[in-house]
Protein backbone atom coordinates (compact mmCIF):
# COMPACT_ATOMS: atom_id res chain seq x y z
CA UNK A 1 0.00 0.00 0.00
CA UNK A 2 2.89 2.39 0.68
CA UNK A 3 3.98 1.87 -2.95
CA UNK A 4 0.51 2.86 -4.20
CA UNK A 5 0.36 5.95 -1.95
CA UNK A 6 3.83 7.01 -3.06
CA UNK A 7 2.93 6.59 -6.75
CA UNK A 8 -0.18 8.79 -6.33
CA UNK A 9 1.80 11.38 -4.32
CA UNK A 10 4.36 11.57 -7.15
CA UNK A 11 1.58 12.34 -9.66
CA UNK A 12 0.10 15.06 -7.43
CA UNK A 13 3.58 16.50 -6.79
CA UNK A 14 4.03 16.81 -10.55
CA UNK A 15 0.72 18.70 -10.78
CA UNK A 16 1.76 21.07 -7.95
CA UNK A 17 5.18 21.69 -9.51
CA UNK A 18 3.55 22.66 -12.82
CA UNK A 19 1.21 25.06 -11.00
CA UNK A 20 4.14 26.58 -9.08
CA UNK A 21 5.90 27.22 -12.40
CA UNK A 22 2.69 28.75 -13.78
CA UNK A 23 2.38 25.90 -16.29
CA UNK A 24 -0.80 23.95 -17.03
CA UNK A 25 -0.58 20.51 -15.33
CA UNK A 26 -0.56 17.46 -17.60
CA UNK A 27 -1.10 13.74 -16.96
CA UNK A 28 0.67 11.33 -19.31
CA UNK A 29 -0.94 7.94 -20.01
CA UNK A 30 -0.01 5.13 -22.38
CA UNK A 31 -2.01 4.60 -25.57
CA UNK A 32 -3.54 1.35 -24.29
CA UNK A 33 -5.74 0.61 -27.30
CA UNK A 34 -3.18 1.14 -30.07
CA UNK A 35 -2.03 -2.14 -31.68
CA UNK A 36 1.31 -0.47 -32.49
CA UNK A 37 2.05 -0.45 -28.75
CA UNK A 38 1.36 -4.18 -28.41
CA UNK A 39 3.67 -7.09 -29.07
CA UNK A 40 2.75 -10.75 -29.14
CA UNK A 41 4.83 -13.14 -27.09
CA UNK A 42 3.95 -16.83 -27.18
CA UNK A 43 4.50 -17.38 -23.45
CA UNK A 44 2.54 -14.30 -22.31
CA UNK A 45 0.09 -13.30 -25.03
CA UNK A 46 -0.47 -9.65 -25.94
CA UNK A 47 1.75 -7.35 -23.90
CA UNK A 48 2.57 -3.67 -23.97
CA UNK A 49 5.96 -2.75 -25.44
CA UNK A 50 8.35 -0.93 -23.06
CA UNK A 51 8.68 2.34 -25.03
CA UNK A 52 5.05 2.68 -26.07
CA UNK A 53 3.51 5.91 -27.34
CA UNK A 54 1.65 8.04 -24.82
CA UNK A 55 -1.07 10.67 -24.87
CA UNK A 56 -1.30 13.76 -22.71
CA UNK A 57 -4.38 14.64 -20.71
CA UNK A 58 -4.03 18.40 -20.39
CA UNK A 59 -5.78 20.62 -17.87
CA UNK A 60 -5.75 23.65 -20.21
CA UNK A 61 -7.40 22.02 -23.21
CA UNK A 62 -11.23 22.03 -23.53
CA UNK A 63 -11.22 18.49 -24.97
CA UNK A 64 -9.35 16.94 -22.04
CA UNK A 65 -9.80 19.27 -19.04
CA UNK A 66 -12.84 17.34 -17.81
CA UNK A 67 -11.01 14.01 -18.07
CA UNK A 68 -8.04 15.54 -16.22
CA UNK A 69 -10.36 16.61 -13.36
CA UNK A 70 -12.05 13.19 -13.21
CA UNK A 71 -8.67 11.43 -13.05
CA UNK A 72 -7.64 13.58 -10.08
CA UNK A 73 -11.01 12.95 -8.41
CA UNK A 74 -10.66 9.15 -8.74
CA UNK A 75 -6.99 9.29 -7.70
CA UNK A 76 -8.05 11.03 -4.47
CA UNK A 77 -10.75 8.36 -3.87
CA UNK A 78 -8.19 5.58 -4.40
CA UNK A 79 -5.73 7.32 -2.08
CA UNK A 80 -8.33 7.47 0.73
CA UNK A 81 -9.31 3.79 0.23
CA UNK A 82 -5.71 2.56 0.31
CA UNK A 83 -5.02 4.68 3.40
CA UNK A 84 -8.07 3.35 5.27
CA UNK A 85 -7.72 -0.19 3.83
CA UNK A 86 -11.26 -0.12 2.40
CA UNK A 87 -12.45 -1.34 -1.01
CA UNK A 88 -15.02 -0.18 -3.54
CA UNK A 89 -16.35 -1.60 -6.80
CA UNK A 90 -16.17 0.43 -10.01
CA UNK A 91 -19.95 0.64 -9.70
CA UNK A 92 -19.65 2.17 -6.18
CA UNK A 93 -17.31 4.83 -7.56
CA UNK A 94 -19.72 5.69 -10.39
CA UNK A 95 -22.71 5.90 -8.03
CA UNK A 96 -20.82 8.12 -5.58
CA UNK A 97 -21.45 10.95 -8.10
CA UNK A 98 -23.33 9.88 -11.24
CA UNK A 99 -23.79 13.47 -12.44
CA UNK A 100 -20.06 14.15 -12.28
CA UNK A 101 -18.94 10.92 -13.99
CA UNK A 102 -21.74 10.75 -16.56
CA UNK A 103 -21.44 7.01 -17.28
CA UNK A 104 -20.01 3.79 -15.89
CA UNK A 105 -17.76 3.33 -18.94
CA UNK A 106 -16.02 6.67 -18.22
CA UNK A 107 -15.16 5.43 -14.70
CA UNK A 108 -13.98 2.04 -16.05
CA UNK A 109 -11.66 3.64 -18.62
CA UNK A 110 -10.19 6.12 -16.15
CA UNK A 111 -9.46 3.38 -13.60
CA UNK A 112 -7.64 1.35 -16.28
CA UNK A 113 -5.72 4.47 -17.35
CA UNK A 114 -4.71 5.17 -13.73
CA UNK A 115 -3.62 1.55 -13.22
CA UNK A 116 -1.52 1.73 -16.40
CA UNK A 117 -0.11 5.20 -15.55
CA UNK A 118 0.93 4.17 -12.02
CA UNK A 119 2.11 0.72 -13.25
CA UNK A 120 0.12 -0.86 -10.40
CA UNK A 121 -2.41 -3.72 -10.88
CA UNK A 122 -5.97 -2.56 -10.43
CA UNK A 123 -6.70 -4.80 -7.43
CA UNK A 124 -3.82 -3.08 -5.56
CA UNK A 125 -5.69 0.22 -6.06
CA UNK A 126 -8.50 -1.24 -3.87
CA UNK A 127 -10.93 -1.07 -6.79
CA UNK A 128 -12.95 -4.24 -7.40
CA UNK A 129 -15.03 -5.29 -10.40
CA UNK A 130 -18.70 -5.99 -9.95
CA UNK A 131 -18.89 -9.78 -10.00
CA UNK A 132 -20.14 -11.37 -13.16
CA UNK A 133 -18.64 -14.86 -13.50
CA UNK A 134 -19.60 -18.20 -11.96
CA UNK A 135 -17.54 -21.22 -10.90
CA UNK A 136 -18.67 -24.76 -10.06
CA UNK A 137 -17.18 -28.22 -9.68
CA UNK A 138 -14.37 -29.85 -7.76
CA UNK A 139 -12.91 -26.84 -5.94
CA UNK A 140 -12.81 -25.40 -2.45
CA UNK A 141 -10.95 -22.36 -1.09
CA UNK A 142 -10.93 -19.83 1.74
CA UNK A 143 -11.81 -16.20 1.04
CA UNK A 144 -9.74 -13.35 2.47
CA UNK A 145 -12.18 -12.82 5.36
CA UNK A 146 -11.94 -16.50 6.36
CA UNK A 147 -15.19 -17.68 4.67
CA UNK A 148 -14.80 -21.27 3.43
CA UNK A 149 -16.25 -21.84 -0.03
CA UNK A 150 -16.97 -25.31 -1.40
CA UNK A 151 -18.01 -25.40 -5.05
CA UNK A 152 -18.17 -29.21 -5.11
CA UNK A 153 -21.34 -29.84 -3.15
CA UNK A 154 -23.24 -26.92 -4.56
CA UNK A 155 -26.13 -27.62 -6.92
CA UNK A 156 -25.91 -23.99 -7.98
CA UNK A 157 -22.80 -22.16 -9.11
CA UNK A 158 -20.71 -19.94 -6.82
CA UNK A 159 -20.05 -16.31 -7.84
CA UNK A 160 -16.40 -15.66 -8.73
CA UNK A 161 -14.88 -13.93 -5.66
CA UNK A 162 -14.46 -10.15 -5.86
CA UNK A 163 -10.94 -10.34 -4.43
CA UNK A 164 -9.31 -13.26 -6.26
CA UNK A 165 -5.91 -12.11 -5.00
CA UNK A 166 -6.98 -12.77 -1.40
CA UNK A 167 -8.28 -16.35 -1.75
CA UNK A 168 -6.11 -19.12 -0.29
CA UNK A 169 -6.05 -22.84 0.60
CA UNK A 170 -7.26 -23.82 -2.88
CA UNK A 171 -7.85 -27.58 -3.09
CA UNK A 172 -9.14 -29.64 -5.99
CA UNK A 173 -8.97 -33.14 -7.48
CA UNK A 174 -10.07 -31.82 -10.87
CA UNK A 175 -8.51 -33.35 -13.96
CA UNK A 176 -9.22 -30.30 -16.12
CA UNK A 177 -10.88 -26.85 -16.20
CA UNK A 178 -13.69 -26.11 -18.65
CA UNK A 179 -14.34 -22.45 -19.55
CA UNK A 180 -17.87 -22.08 -20.91
CA UNK A 181 -18.74 -18.99 -22.93
CA UNK A 182 -22.40 -18.65 -22.03
CA UNK A 183 -24.38 -18.79 -18.84
CA UNK A 184 -27.18 -20.89 -20.43
CA UNK A 185 -24.77 -23.66 -21.50
CA UNK A 186 -23.01 -23.50 -18.13
CA UNK A 187 -26.34 -23.94 -16.29
CA UNK A 188 -27.27 -26.84 -18.59
CA UNK A 189 -24.02 -28.67 -17.79
CA UNK A 190 -24.63 -27.95 -14.12
CA UNK A 191 -28.13 -29.48 -14.34
CA UNK A 192 -26.67 -32.54 -16.09
CA UNK A 193 -24.14 -32.90 -13.22
CA UNK A 194 -21.43 -32.88 -15.89
CA UNK A 195 -18.50 -32.09 -13.55
CA UNK A 196 -19.04 -35.34 -11.63
CA UNK A 197 -20.01 -37.67 -14.47
CA UNK A 198 -17.00 -37.64 -16.82
CA UNK A 199 -14.20 -37.02 -14.34
CA UNK A 200 -13.85 -34.38 -11.63
CA UNK A 201 -13.43 -30.95 -13.19
CA UNK A 202 -13.88 -27.23 -12.53
CA UNK A 203 -16.30 -25.24 -14.71
CA UNK A 204 -16.11 -21.46 -15.11
CA UNK A 205 -18.15 -18.98 -17.12
CA UNK A 206 -17.52 -15.27 -17.61
CA UNK A 207 -21.05 -15.08 -19.09
CA UNK A 208 -19.82 -13.64 -22.36
CA UNK A 209 -16.77 -11.38 -22.45
CA UNK A 210 -15.06 -12.18 -19.14
CA UNK A 211 -14.54 -9.53 -16.48
CA UNK A 212 -11.19 -9.07 -14.76
CA UNK A 213 -12.05 -11.30 -11.78
CA UNK A 214 -13.02 -14.28 -13.95
CA UNK A 215 -9.76 -13.95 -15.89
CA UNK A 216 -7.78 -13.62 -12.64
CA UNK A 217 -9.45 -16.76 -11.27
CA UNK A 218 -8.67 -18.80 -14.40
CA UNK A 219 -5.04 -17.67 -14.09
CA UNK A 220 -4.96 -18.44 -10.35
CA UNK A 221 -6.36 -21.96 -10.94
CA UNK A 222 -3.75 -22.53 -13.65
CA UNK A 223 -0.94 -21.37 -11.34
CA UNK A 224 -2.28 -23.54 -8.49
CA UNK A 225 -3.08 -26.82 -10.25
CA UNK A 226 -1.36 -26.79 -13.70
CA UNK A 227 -4.15 -28.92 -15.20
CA UNK A 228 -5.43 -28.65 -18.81
CA UNK A 229 -7.81 -25.76 -19.53
CA UNK A 230 -10.38 -26.18 -22.31
CA UNK A 231 -12.83 -23.66 -23.78
CA UNK A 232 -16.37 -24.34 -24.98
CA UNK A 233 -17.49 -21.45 -27.19
CA UNK A 234 -20.02 -20.74 -29.92
CA UNK A 235 -18.66 -21.45 -33.41
CA UNK A 236 -18.73 -17.78 -34.37
CA UNK A 237 -16.25 -14.85 -34.48
CA UNK A 238 -17.52 -13.52 -31.12
CA UNK A 239 -16.86 -16.90 -29.44
CA UNK A 240 -13.35 -17.05 -30.92
CA UNK A 241 -12.69 -13.49 -29.71
CA UNK A 242 -13.72 -14.40 -26.14
CA UNK A 243 -11.50 -17.49 -26.17
CA UNK A 244 -8.56 -15.34 -27.34
CA UNK A 245 -9.14 -12.95 -24.40
CA UNK A 246 -8.67 -15.85 -21.93
CA UNK A 247 -5.67 -17.25 -23.80
CA UNK A 248 -3.81 -14.19 -25.11
CA UNK A 249 -5.42 -11.24 -23.33
CA UNK A 250 -6.97 -8.06 -24.69
CA UNK A 251 -5.33 -5.00 -26.19
CA UNK A 252 -6.79 -2.60 -23.61
CA UNK A 253 -5.48 -4.68 -20.65
CA UNK A 254 -2.16 -5.68 -22.25
CA UNK A 255 -0.25 -3.77 -19.55
CA UNK A 256 -1.46 -6.43 -17.08
CA UNK A 257 -0.98 -9.46 -19.35
CA UNK A 258 1.42 -11.26 -16.98
CA UNK A 259 -1.34 -11.64 -14.35
CA UNK A 260 -4.23 -12.38 -16.69
CA UNK A 261 -3.40 -14.57 -19.67
CA UNK A 262 -3.17 -18.37 -19.80
CA UNK A 263 -1.45 -19.24 -23.10
CA UNK A 264 -1.96 -22.99 -22.51
CA UNK A 265 -5.76 -22.71 -23.02
CA UNK A 266 -7.08 -25.18 -25.63
CA UNK A 267 -10.02 -24.85 -28.04
CA UNK A 268 -12.29 -27.83 -27.35
CA UNK A 269 -15.38 -26.71 -29.21
CA UNK A 270 -17.59 -25.86 -30.86
CA UNK A 271 -15.24 -26.16 -33.84
CA UNK A 272 -16.45 -25.10 -37.29
CA UNK A 273 -15.20 -28.51 -38.55
CA UNK A 274 -17.45 -30.23 -35.95
CA UNK A 275 -20.55 -28.89 -37.72
CA UNK A 276 -19.65 -30.79 -40.88
CA UNK A 277 -18.44 -33.88 -39.00
CA UNK A 278 -21.66 -34.15 -37.01
CA UNK A 279 -23.85 -33.46 -40.06
CA UNK A 280 -25.53 -30.53 -38.36
CA UNK A 281 -28.47 -29.50 -40.54
CA UNK A 282 -27.75 -26.28 -42.49
CA UNK A 283 -31.14 -24.88 -41.37
CA UNK A 284 -29.89 -24.93 -37.76
CA UNK A 285 -26.94 -22.65 -38.66
CA UNK A 286 -27.04 -18.84 -38.72
CA UNK A 287 -25.81 -16.78 -41.71
CA UNK A 288 -22.99 -14.27 -41.06
CA UNK A 289 -23.77 -10.57 -40.69
CA UNK A 290 -21.43 -7.92 -42.13
CA UNK A 291 -20.23 -7.36 -38.55
CA UNK A 292 -19.34 -11.08 -38.25
CA UNK A 293 -17.33 -10.91 -41.48
CA UNK A 294 -15.39 -7.86 -40.28
CA UNK A 295 -14.74 -9.37 -36.85
CA UNK A 296 -13.47 -12.64 -38.37
CA UNK A 297 -11.23 -10.80 -40.86
CA UNK A 298 -9.74 -8.78 -37.99
CA UNK A 299 -9.10 -11.92 -35.88
CA UNK A 300 -7.43 -13.68 -38.84
CA UNK A 301 -4.91 -10.82 -39.09
CA UNK A 302 -3.89 -10.95 -35.42
CA UNK A 303 -0.31 -11.98 -34.64
CA UNK A 304 -1.26 -15.00 -32.51
CA UNK A 305 -3.27 -16.73 -35.27
CA UNK A 306 -0.07 -17.11 -37.35
CA UNK A 307 1.41 -19.46 -34.73
CA UNK A 308 -1.80 -21.54 -34.52
CA UNK A 309 -2.09 -23.31 -37.92
CA UNK A 310 -4.97 -25.55 -36.73
CA UNK A 311 -6.95 -22.56 -35.48
CA UNK A 312 -6.22 -20.82 -38.77
CA UNK A 313 -7.73 -23.74 -40.66
CA UNK A 314 -10.91 -23.64 -38.53
CA UNK A 315 -11.29 -19.89 -39.12
CA UNK A 316 -10.90 -20.50 -42.86
CA UNK A 317 -13.73 -23.08 -42.73
CA UNK A 318 -15.89 -20.48 -40.94
CA UNK A 319 -14.98 -17.74 -43.42
CA UNK A 320 -15.73 -19.99 -46.43
CA UNK A 321 -19.11 -21.15 -45.15
CA UNK A 322 -20.19 -17.71 -43.83
CA UNK A 323 -22.27 -19.62 -41.28
CA UNK A 324 -22.11 -19.63 -37.49
CA UNK A 325 -23.56 -21.85 -34.78
CA UNK A 326 -24.35 -21.55 -31.11
CA UNK A 327 -23.42 -24.39 -28.74
CA UNK A 328 -27.17 -25.05 -28.35
CA UNK A 329 -27.21 -26.29 -31.96
CA UNK A 330 -26.10 -29.68 -30.56
CA UNK A 331 -29.56 -30.15 -29.05
CA UNK A 332 -30.74 -30.65 -32.65
CA UNK A 333 -28.89 -34.00 -32.49
CA UNK A 334 -30.40 -34.89 -29.09
CA UNK A 335 -31.37 -33.02 -25.92
CA UNK A 336 -28.38 -34.10 -23.79
CA UNK A 337 -25.92 -34.66 -26.66
CA UNK A 338 -23.47 -32.01 -25.34
CA UNK A 339 -22.91 -33.57 -21.90
CA UNK A 340 -23.56 -37.23 -22.78
CA UNK A 341 -21.67 -37.63 -26.08
CA UNK A 342 -19.93 -34.52 -27.44
CA UNK A 343 -17.80 -33.45 -24.45
CA UNK A 344 -16.93 -36.97 -23.14
CA UNK A 345 -15.77 -38.06 -26.64
CA UNK A 346 -13.73 -34.90 -27.18
CA UNK A 347 -12.04 -35.23 -23.78
CA UNK A 348 -11.37 -38.95 -24.18
CA UNK A 349 -10.05 -38.89 -27.75
CA UNK A 350 -8.24 -35.55 -27.75
CA UNK A 351 -10.56 -33.55 -29.98
CA UNK A 352 -9.11 -30.15 -29.09
CA UNK A 353 -6.76 -27.67 -30.77
Active-site residues, by number, are 95
The candidate with the shortest Cα–Cα distance to 222, out of 176, 256, 180, is 176
Sequence-distant (≥ 6) Cβ neighbours of residue 1 within 8 angstroms: 82, 83, 85, 124
**3-state class (DSSP) for residue 134:** strand
- Count CB-CB contacts under 10 A for residue 234: 22
Nearest to 241 by CA among 273, 212, 208: 208
As a whole number of angstroms, the longest Cα–Cα distance in the chain is: 74
Please state, in angstroms and rounded to a whole number, the distance separating the CA atoms of residues 321 and 323. Answer: 5
Return d(Cα 165, Cα 126) in angstroms, integer: 11
Q: Which string of DSSP letters, residue by residue, matches 181-218?
A: S-HHHHHHHHHTTHHHHSS-EEEEE-SSS--HHHHHHH
Amino acid sequence: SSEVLEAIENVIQGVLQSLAQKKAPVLTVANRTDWRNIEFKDSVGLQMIPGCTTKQIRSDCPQSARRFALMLKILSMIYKMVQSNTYATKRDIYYSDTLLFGSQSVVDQIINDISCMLKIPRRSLHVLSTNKGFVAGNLSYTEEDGTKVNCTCSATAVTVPSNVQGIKNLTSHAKFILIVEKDATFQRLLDDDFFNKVSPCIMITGRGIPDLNTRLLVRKLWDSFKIPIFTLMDADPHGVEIMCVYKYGSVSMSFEAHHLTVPSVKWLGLLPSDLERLNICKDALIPFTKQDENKLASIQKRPYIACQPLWKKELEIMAASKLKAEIQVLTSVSADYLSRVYLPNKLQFGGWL
